């Protein structure tokens, strides 16, 4: 998923522009941590927990990451 697509997706959210971009960036970071750095979870677990708590406060819950980031992102954002 290209940066332009992420920005377009952020523009569709009900949050302010800056919050929407932060939500998308946080989701992308969590997805990467869980899919590409799962073997190093001990290093990022606390940071991810903080990010998940922030997203939860925004009304988002995260399913386990699937193989396709775009599909996963759409699933997460469909609940907003």
Each residue's pLDDT tens digit, 42-71: 999 999 999 999 988 888 888 888 888 878
pTM over 0.85: no
Contact in structure between 10 and 24 (CB atoms under 8 Å): yes
Domain ranges of the chain: 3-77
Q: How far apart are the first and last CA of the chain?
A: 20
d(CA 30, CA 51): 8
- pLDDT tens-digit map of 9-19: 666 666 777 88
């Amino acid at each position: 998923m290209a940066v332009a697509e992420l920005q377009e997706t952020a523009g569709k959210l009900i949050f302010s522009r800056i919050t929407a971009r932060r939500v998308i960036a946080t989701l992308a970071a969590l997805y990467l941590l869980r899919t590409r750095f799962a073997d190093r979870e001990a290093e990022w677990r606390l940071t991810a927990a903080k990010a998940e708590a922030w997203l939860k406060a925004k009304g988002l819950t995260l399913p386990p990451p699937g193989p396709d980031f775009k599909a996963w992102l759409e699933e997460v954002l469909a609940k907003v």
